[in-house]
Structure 1
């Protein structure tokens, strides 16, 4: 039969496998009982063992030696043979000791002696394999031959008070040299480490001193580098050192027992003891969106207790500072407030990307982001809610034709994220309802589906009571369309004016100022007809007309566009003023005459006249003198030089807080 024995029996295989053939391992009595004598066999085996130890030729075949061992065991002389081997092993080990005691001993020599020792012990074990198998049966206290060899080497050589310190110092010196950049013989170090592991001295004699040396080395190195390097460079240094130690563990240390405490030493000295300083000086990484550095920073801080907590707190502070700068407006700049919401959304998108790529999509950082947004947004009451409503209004209006339905949906979803942060949801409701009313009454909604989708999002977030009035507004508009259709169908003779009415319930719509005005007879007649029609179907109700929300399309002919009828899309007040210029084009109309004819309240009249005479690209009237302050002496002329590339021209109203420029035509 074939028997395989290798150094793997003691440590993961460092010597080539030895193969021997044995005819039989079990005999009941000496095979050569007629010629066997213990003394003769004993002498042969002693001689063979001595020859192995001293590199001499064995004068017997291996098969002959195997039979002698079997016969000795069969003659029940195992204890004697075991004692003989133990004595021979001890003598040989003591012969090796002087070499280890030599002051000039180097690791390479120690490794060579150890490798030769192991090889010889394996050869002897193979010769005495039958004995080795019998030892536990004969006496459980007997060590197997390999363990006996290890014990003797450990007791007589490696634990010697003049040997172990010398070998350990050279080993640690080599590791130190490698850490400082010197190339070392890793195979040699691996052999020395494995020797200690085989002799069960690694953890006690190597690992402990190695950890202490590592702690001192990295503490001093970190102290020197923390103030010299930038945060980014220091993080790269730590990552490099961790990789080097991982490589060192796999190359020649014992990763099973050393990896955890060694890397914990690096974590403590390079990260944990420096993390407060690093986090405090990490603002540039966050501010400049250095995602690779932040990802490394997060990974390193994840290795130590409280590291990620510190980074998250710094991140939250940064978010609050950046967001507060966007929301605050100490100079009361209208332009800054107008871009507030878009700036917040862009900021949040950037921070979300930072969390996903820099902080491994850590959900606790998302929560910190939400907390910071909620805090700084509500540090300025009302304004974020107001401008969020106006932001949505800008995207839901017909004038915004650059976005697809999918883009509009994403915009609404992002706006809802900010909406959730806002405490003053009633403020948002007031402004959103006001802007929604304008879109519905003036026909400026880009998409009814988008409007209802936004309404559904608000309802889902705040409940049905929050959107009840808004839903009523949609119902009023839909009923008004049918009402206008029915009114036109009921007229026996079509009116020269295309007339549409929105009948709204005051309880659900914003309150509007009651403004009076004088209307031309044709418009008054049409309005009275509609009132009769409505009241005939809804007894007990009262209609109150609100001119400030009305719109008109006025046809105008300009000498600059002969044969082309321009259509001016204007408010009711603008239409009432333009109707005063149906006379000769060279005859001015005074401010006083316009005021008397239209009966429009002065503030409203001034704003409306400015929109027609001073609006950019919309100067359909000429004003003299050029002034923002109106007086009864102002004269207005029809602008015969007015030009516009469009057929239908939409005229804007000038808001109370807006400023306009007056310049000659």
Structure 2
């Protein structure tokens, strides 16, 4: 047998032949009980009895009487509640803010009390009228009990003047809290929840959305327009940012806790439009507290706050990036003034020489301007990198702006390539002594950071090759590993071709060491020359100074040693030509003075000059003209060598008359009375220094000449590959390929194209 099915118990319909009910009496009993429910006296009522009353009225086709009767009873109760509970709670308009605040809270509490009372009553009525809601409502086309209760509450409670008082009370509570007063948020939330529960149309628009939110947003707009002006005029930049962020946090908290989350975005947009957007640029630029001051004083929290606020605005990041660029470029221009100051000093020195006067200002600062400039740039870079990582969350847009600004001011200094090369040269010669590998690596990484900003990398390449060549030839590099490490970094940044010739220099040094070793083994088996040679054979296209062969007449013993090596070298490499670069060599020579024998390290040409005094007496002099005739050294080089021997720290020769400069009328004697505590003495020539205007002009002309060749080669290479191209496309391609070394001007490319066309036509 199948088990009996269980379901909802059914109320059996009375038989038709049963007695008719008395509708009037039934409604009288039911209405009396409904009033008891509304008066909170439902404890002694019978739910089953009341349900049967409503059921019978619907069953016997008197649902309309029941529905309208219930509606009337609800209206009567709501009117009573409005009259007895809400209207007496209307604020009296007292001027005392505290009293007014209390009255507003009482009104909001009264509304919530009436709402809770009404909803409780409607729930109980809904339970009694379930059969009516299920059977009568839909055919009759009227709201069910719950919806009826909402509609009646809306029309009889949320109506003028009650609604106006409620909205005003809520706005006043918000105003009190914005002014710093403490309010009972739960009270406001209770009223707002009522507004959110009441829909005014079929689209779901609530009383909150229709009647409260627009007024609230308008009042907020007016408030924050005045607040923005107040903060701007009364606060410094950090205070403005802090208070502005507090306003944002407060409004978000307000909408989350007792308003509606749907109001959050339009409210925050008002804050952006009234506090941030019109004033953030002025705040950033405040003279004694703006962005520059915050960066200088490491106000990382304030900078983080600025970054967060700027990200909120549509164009906030653009404003921040522009401000950072201005700050960096301003600092960079101040650093670049070092270069300008050096040029002014040089001009003053030239003017003094022209007038025959002595300028006491020290213009021979060597490479110190370059070292100072690079160190200052690195300090600024470190400062902004720290701000970027600490306060700006490693934001990519900010990083691009920072790099763009650094590139701008670095390239404003026409000496930037030379300065960076001199900085590296100084550190690779002596600056890394006593430093660990990690410290050396950090120094090289920092210099590469600035190298990335250089737009004319071919100019840097020219300076770096010259400085590297001198380090290798004079043995001044203190670490081969550091040298190779630096080349590796340059190769990563600019490609293999950028370092190809530099690597060729290292290769020549390695081969030369093997060649010298073989030569010394060779001469040891024969009659060895008086002078022991250590020769570096430089490939002409790898070394930057290979084509500059300075003239000089060698003493017999030196000439004999050179010819001995030439004979050996040609026996190994037939068909090659050797040009001696005497200006690049150095020598160790034993010199006996009256008190002591010293071992001097001098340049090759300085040795040639010293040997002229070898057989002269102590009082015998050689005139400048005599030295020039005997050695055939050019004036510029001869003066430089004599200056190092007679005017520097170690005065091996004595000059008459005594002065810092060498003139054609001067005479020289050997300083036999020279004395020094050191046995080995390095008599250096004039060390590296920043180029003067004439030298810079010459370097620029050579660079421009090389650029013309590179541009021509690039054009030919592209046309061989493409065969046919439009003129503008060709210029674009050439520009793209040459940008890694320098920024070619379109007009220059156009002229080179025209030049190549002319050459091809004539050929």
Q: Provide the rounded CA distance (Å) in 2 between the counterparts of 1:212 and 1:58.
A: 48
Q: Provide the rounded CA distance (Å) in 2 between the counterparts of 1:182 and 1:633.
A: 94
Q: Provide the rounded CA distance (Å) in 2 between the counterparts of 1:79 and 1:657.
A: 108
The answer to whether the 8 Å contact 1:620/1:642 transfers is no
What is the match of residue 6 of structure 1? none
What is the match of residue 652 of structure 1? 684
What is the match of residue 312 of structure 2? 303
Report deviation, 1:136: 4.3
Q: TM-score normalised to the size of structure 1?
A: 0.83
In the TM superposition, what whole-angstrom CA distance separates every residue of 1:226-265 from its partner, at most 9, and x where no partner exists? 122222221122111112212222231112x211111111
Q: What SS does the aligned partner of 2:234 have?
A: coil
What is the match of residue 132 of structure 1? 130
Report deviation, 1:487: 0.9
What is the match of residue 83 of structure 2? 98
Q: What SS does the aligned partner of 1:294 have?
A: helix
2:391 matched to 1:358?
A: yes
Q: What SS does the aligned partner of 1:553 have?
A: strand
The answer to whether the 8 Å contact 2:606/2:645 transfers is yes
In 2 relative to 1, CA 292–560 (structure 1 residues): closer, same or farther, beyond 3 Å?
A: farther
What is the match of residue 729 of structure 2? none
In 2 relative to 1, CA 467–104 (structure 1 residues): closer, same or farther, beyond 3 Å?
A: closer
In the TM superposition, what whole-angstrom CA distance separates every residue of 1:532-562 from its partner, at most 9, and x where no partner exists? 111122223332222221122234678888x
2:297 matched to 1:287?
A: no
Report deviation, 1:575: 3.7
Q: Provide the rounded CA distance (Å) in 2 between the counterparts of 1:367 and 1:291.
A: 20
In 2 relative to 1, CA 342–124 (structure 1 residues): closer, same or farther, beyond 3 Å?
A: closer
The answer to whether the 8 Å contact 2:583/2:605 transfers is yes
Q: Provide the rounded CA distance (Å) in 2 between the counterparts of 1:153 and 1:476.
A: 99
In the TM superposition, what whole-angstrom CA distance separates every residue of 1:60-89 from its partner, at most 9, and x where no partner exists? 244554565566666665544333221210
| 1:115 aligned to which of 113, 116, 121 | 113
The answer to whether the 8 Å contact 2:81/2:114 transfers is no
The answer to whether the 8 Å contact 1:29/1:74 transfers is no
Q: What SS does the aligned partner of 2:588 have?
A: strand
What is the match of residue 508 of structure 2? 476
Q: What SS does the aligned partner of 1:570 have?
A: strand
| 1:587 aligned to which of 598, 618, 621 | 618
Residues 374-523 of structure 1 mapped to structure 2, 5 A cutoff: 374-381=407-414, 383-397=415-429, 400-491=432-523, 492-493=525-526, 497-511=531-545, 513-517=548-552, 519=554, 521-523=556-558
What is the match of residue 260 of structure 1? 265
| 1:241 aligned to which of 244, 247, 253 | 247
Q: Provide the rounded CA distance (Å) in 2 between the counterparts of 1:128 and 1:24.
A: 22
Q: Provide the rounded CA distance (Å) in 1 between the counterparts of 2:145 and 2:182.
A: 38
Query: When the two structures are aligned, how many residues end up with a matched partner?
Result: 627
Q: Provide the rounded CA distance (Å) in 2 between the counterparts of 1:203 and 1:323.
A: 54
Q: Provide the rounded CA distance (Å) in 1 between the counterparts of 2:431 and 2:190.
A: 80
In 2 relative to 1, CA 112–405 (structure 1 residues): closer, same or farther, beyond 3 Å?
A: same
Report deviation, 1:212: 1.0
2:559 matched to 1:524?
A: yes
Q: Provide the rounded CA distance (Å) in 2 between the counterparts of 1:114 and 1:228.
A: 41
In 2 relative to 1, CA 167–629 (structure 1 residues): closer, same or farther, beyond 3 Å?
A: closer
The answer to whether the 8 Å contact 1:235/1:297 transfers is yes
Residues 585-624 of structure 1 mapped to structure 2, 5 A cutoff: 587-588=618-619, 590-592=621-623, 601=634, 603-616=636-649, 618-619=650-651
What is the match of residue 270 of structure 1? 275
In 2 relative to 1, CA 487–303 (structure 1 residues): closer, same or farther, beyond 3 Å?
A: same
**RCO greater where, 1 or 2, for CA within 8 Å and sep 6 or more?**
2
Q: Provide the rounded CA distance (Å) in 2 between the counterparts of 1:434 and 1:37.
A: 120
What is the match of residue 226 of structure 2? 220
The answer to whether the 8 Å contact 1:623/1:637 transfers is no
The answer to whether the 8 Å contact 1:517/1:600 transfers is yes
In 2 relative to 1, CA 38–186 (structure 1 residues): closer, same or farther, beyond 3 Å?
A: farther
The answer to whether the 8 Å contact 2:47/2:128 transfers is no
Q: What SS does the aligned partner of 1:421 have?
A: coil
What is the match of residue 152 of structure 1? 152
2:35 matched to 1:46?
A: no
What is the match of residue 184 of structure 2? 185
- Range 92-101 or range 196-205, more displaced: 92-101
What is the match of residue 542 of structure 1? 577
Q: Provide the rounded CA distance (Å) in 1 between the counterparts of 2:281 and 2:15.
A: 82
In the TM superposition, what whole-angstrom CA distance separates every residue of 1:504-525 from its partner, at most 9, and x where no partner exists? 1333322365444455544333
In 2 relative to 1, CA 88–94 (structure 1 residues): closer, same or farther, beyond 3 Å?
A: same
In 2 relative to 1, CA 41–183 (structure 1 residues): closer, same or farther, beyond 3 Å?
A: same
In 2 relative to 1, CA 26–69 (structure 1 residues): closer, same or farther, beyond 3 Å?
A: farther
Q: Provide the rounded CA distance (Å) in 1 between the counterparts of 2:477 and 2:15.
A: 114
Q: Provide the rounded CA distance (Å) in 1 between the counterparts of 2:89 and 2:48.
A: 43
The answer to whether the 8 Å contact 1:608/1:653 transfers is yes
Query: Which structure dedicates a bigger proportion of its chain to helix?
Result: 2
- Range 213-222 or range 487-496, more displaced: 487-496
Q: Provide the rounded CA distance (Å) in 2 between the counterparts of 1:217 and 1:104.
A: 25
In the TM superposition, what whole-angstrom CA distance separates every residue of 1:42-70 from its partner, at most 9, and x where no partner exists? 44432222112224465424455456556
Q: What SS does the aligned partner of 1:638 have?
A: coil
In 2 relative to 1, CA 114–431 (structure 1 residues): closer, same or farther, beyond 3 Å?
A: closer
The answer to whether the 8 Å contact 1:516/1:601 transfers is yes
Report deviation, 1:31: 9.4
Q: Provide the rounded CA distance (Å) in 1 between the counterparts of 2:688 and 2:329.
A: 34
Report deviation, 1:224: 2.7
- Range 166-175 or range 401-410, more displaced: 401-410
2:60 matched to 1:29?
A: no
Q: Provide the rounded CA distance (Å) in 2 between the counterparts of 1:596 and 1:71.
A: 141
Q: What SS does the aligned partner of 1:509 have?
A: coil
The answer to whether the 8 Å contact 2:300/2:390 transfers is yes
The answer to whether the 8 Å contact 1:48/1:59 transfers is no
The answer to whether the 8 Å contact 2:417/2:456 transfers is yes
